[in-house]
């Protein structure tokens, strides 16, 4: 019987042995076997990707992490899912698994800053060159591709500035040249976009964000097709990547309500955006809310929904007053990360960190995550804080 995503999230990962709605937290380093033959047999089962419920050694995971892999595998329609201790760990595993000295990566300029940092430092030292392309210009991407290009890395929408790209055109371009394609899909989640289904080789999510949803766990997922699996498997094994079972349990618990939470985030955002777009100091709302915009059209083309993270571009000659606006918010926590139940805000100074984003000295970006509070309360909080902008 075919099941909806909502039903899958509620029923996968149940512990049928212990009659529990959630899997047990299995903390293990050593795994016992009845004989050497049984140990060797289990090792072969894992290698051949046959269904299994435990590994031969705890470094590779436990029953708890396997349950999380199975859930994500179903959501992403993936051949395999690698789990990492953090979201950025999944990015690092992807780069190190697919890149070799002499290769070139082409990366969208609007990626998460640590993604850019690893490209400009560690990968450079390994002999892997990175070219950054303008996310608003497909021709720029085409021009950056060479015979050495091994991978195209896209974050959609872009970090802080929220550009939406034409994903199928990128995939088509890459397939002709046999280039690996990777999408950081943390914003959309596989509920609203399944990157592997539309042709990407890799889909990355920071499980710290919406998967967990409660700001109390960290983790990353790298979902791959069969083409990528063997290349990444060996690197993952040699690097000793492992997500702790306690973190896996918390992420599974969060996934149970992912569908419900995302709808609530979206409903709250729409109400907040409706208020913000009337404010004269806000030059632009960086969120797919305007049907006439290119970003809205690209969002509508690929996504079945939208989530709670957005940016606002504020016009002010006083950076101090913009910071005061942020500091004056009472219901928005000031801090990094997002995707939890709570609203967050942070002033983002990206002027020196981007190659293609151009804005005036009197323009300032504030990133906001709209949480699950009563939107009327959030709007009232914003109303009093916006008075500080000069």
pLDDT in tens, 341-355: 999 999 998 877 899
Question: Does the pLDDT value for residue 360 go beyond 90?
Answer: no
DSSP-assigned beta bridge partners for residue 182: 153, 202
Question: Does the pLDDT value for residue 16 go beyond 80?
Answer: no
Q: Domain 5-27+62-255 has what CATH class?
A: alpha beta
* Mean of pLDDT over the chain: 95
For residue 311, give the nearest of 285, 290, 330 by alpha carbon.
285
Task: Delimit the CATH 3.90.1150.10 region(s) of the chain.
Answer: 258-386
Judged by average pLDDT, the poorest of 219-228, 276-285, 326-335 is: 276-285
217 backbone dihedrals φ, ψ, rounded to 5°: -150, 155
For residue 14, give the nearest of 75, 63, 58 by alpha carbon.
63
> What are the tokens at 277?
């777009």
pTM for the complete prediction? 0.95
Q: Kindly give the pairing relationship between strand 149-155 and strand 180-184.
A: parallel
Q: What is the mean pLDDT of residues 81-97?
A: 97
Helix (H) or strand (E) holding 334: strand 333-334
For residue 242, give the nearest of 14, 26, 21 by alpha carbon.
26
pLDDT of 13: 81
Distance CA 167, CA 164 (A): 9
> Would you state the torsion angle of the CA atoms of residues 274, 279, 284, 290, taken in this order, to the nearest 10 degrees?
30
Q: Which residue has the higher pLDDT, 365 or 22?
A: 365
38 backbone dihedrals φ, ψ, rounded to 5°: -65, -40
CATH number of 258-386: 3.90.1150.10
Kindly calculate the radius of gyration of the chain based on its CA atoms and give it in whole angstroms. 22
Question: Does the pLDDT value for residue 12 go beyond 90?
Answer: no
User: pLDDT of 158-177, one tens digit each?
Assistant: 999 999 999 999 999 999 99
User: pLDDT of 111-153, one tens digit each?
Assistant: 999 999 999 999 999 999 999 999 999 999 999 999 999 999 9
pLDDT of 339: 97
Question: Does the pLDDT value for residue 1 go beyond 70?
Answer: no
* For the chain, percent of residues with pLDDT exceeding 90: 87
pLDDT-derived band at 243, boundaries 50, 70, 90: very high
User: pLDDT of 38-79, one tens digit each?
Assistant: 999 999 998 888 888 889 999 999 999 999 999 999 999 999
pLDDT of 383: 97
Task: Delimit the CATH 3.40.640.10 region(s) of the chain.
Answer: 5-27+62-255
pLDDT of 364: 94
Q: Which residues contact 191 (CB under 8 A, 6 or more apart)?
A: 5, 75, 258, 259, 262, 304, 305
């Amino acid at each position: 019987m075919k099941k909806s995503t909502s039903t899958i999230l509620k029923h996968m990962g149940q512990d049928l042995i212990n009659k529990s709605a959630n899997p047990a937290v299995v903390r293990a380093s050593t795994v016992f076997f009845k004989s050497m033959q049984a140990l060797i047999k289990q090792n072969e089962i894992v290698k051949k990707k046959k269904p299994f419920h435990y590994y031969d050694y705890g470094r590779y995971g436990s029953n708890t992490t396997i349950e999380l892999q199975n859930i994500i595998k179903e959501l992403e329609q993936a051949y395999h899912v690698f789990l990492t201790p953090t979201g950025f760990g999944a990015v690092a595993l992807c780069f190190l698994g697919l890149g070799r000295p002499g290769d070139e990566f082409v990366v969208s300029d609007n990626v998460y800053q640590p993604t850019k940092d690893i490209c400009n430092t560690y990968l450079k030292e390994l002999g892997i060159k990175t070219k950054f392309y303008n996310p608003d210009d497909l021709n720029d991407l085409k021009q950056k591709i060479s015979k050495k290009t091994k991978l195209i890395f896209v974050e959609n929408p872009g970090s802080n500035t929220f550009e939406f790209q034409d994903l199928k055109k990128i995939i088509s371009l890459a397939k002709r040249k046999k280039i690996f394609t990777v999408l950081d899909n943390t914003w959309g989640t596989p509920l609203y976009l399944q990157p592997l289904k539309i042709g990407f080789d890799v889909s990355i999510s920071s499980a710290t964000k919406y998967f967990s949803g409660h700001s109390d766990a960290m983790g990353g997922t790298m979902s791959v097709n069969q083409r990528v699996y063997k290349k990444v498997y060996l690197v993952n094994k040699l690097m000793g990547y492992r997500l702790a079972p306690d973190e896996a349990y918390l992420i599974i618990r969060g996934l149970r309500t992912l569908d419900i939470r995302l709808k609530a985030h979206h409903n709250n955002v729409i109400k907040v955006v409706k208020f913000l777009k009337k404010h004269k100091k806000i030059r632009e709302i960086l969120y797919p809310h305007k049907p006439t915009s290119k970003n809205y059209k690209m969002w509508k083309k690929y996504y079945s929904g939208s989530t709670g993270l957005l940016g606002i571009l504020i016009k002010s000659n006083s950076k101090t007053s913009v910071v005061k606006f942020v500091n004056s918010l009472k219901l928005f926590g000031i801090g990094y990360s997002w995707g939890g139940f709570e609203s967050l805000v942070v002033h983002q100074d990206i002027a020196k960190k981007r190659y293609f984003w151009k804005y005036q000295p009197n323009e300032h970006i504030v990133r906001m995550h709209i949480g699950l509070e009563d939107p009327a309360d959030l709007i009232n909080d914003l109303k009093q804080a916006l008075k500080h902008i000069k």
